[in-house]
Amino acid sequence: MINNPAIILVDVQNDFFTGPLKIKRVINIVEPLQRLVVAARKNDVPVIYSIDAHYPQDVEVVRKWGSHAIKGTQGAQVIDDLKPEDGKDYIVEKRTYSGFYETGLDPLLRSLYKGEGVKTVVLGGLHTNMCIRHTSADAFFRGYQIVIAKDGVEAFTVEDHEQGLKYLEYVYNAKVMMTNEIIQEIVK
Residue numbers of the site for Zn ion (CB under 5 A)?
A: 52, 60
Dihedral over Cα of 77, 20, 102, 172: its sign: positive
Nearer to Zn ion, 25 or 64 (CB): 64
Nearer to Zn ion, 68 or 161 (CB): 68
We find the least distance from the C-beta atom of residue 77 to Zn ion, in angstroms, to be 14
Closest residue to bound Zn ion by CB: 52
Nearer to Zn ion, 70 or 176 (CB): 70
We find the least distance from the C-beta atom of residue 61 to Zn ion, in angstroms, to be 7
Query: Which strands make up the sheet holding 175-177, listed edge to edge?
Result: 90-94, 47-52, 5-10, 120-126, 145-154, 175-177
Candidates 53, 54, 75, 74; CA nearest to 63 is 54
We find the least distance from the C-beta atom of residue 14 to Zn ion, in angstroms, to be 13
We find the least distance from the C-beta atom of residue 72 to Zn ion, in angstroms, to be 15
Nearer to Zn ion, 60 or 160 (CB): 60
Residue type, 143: G
β-strands 145-154, 47-52 pairing: unpaired
Candidates 67, 88, 92, 95; CA nearest to 78 is 92
We find the least distance from the C-beta atom of residue 177 to Zn ion, in angstroms, to be 26
We find the least distance from the C-beta atom of residue 137 to Zn ion, in angstroms, to be 16
Nearer to Zn ion, 103 or 120 (CB): 103
Dihedral over Cα of 52, 155, 37, 2: its sign: negative
Cβ atoms of residues 176 and 169 within 8 Å: yes
Nearer to Zn ion, 52 or 138 (CB): 52
Strand partners, 177: 149
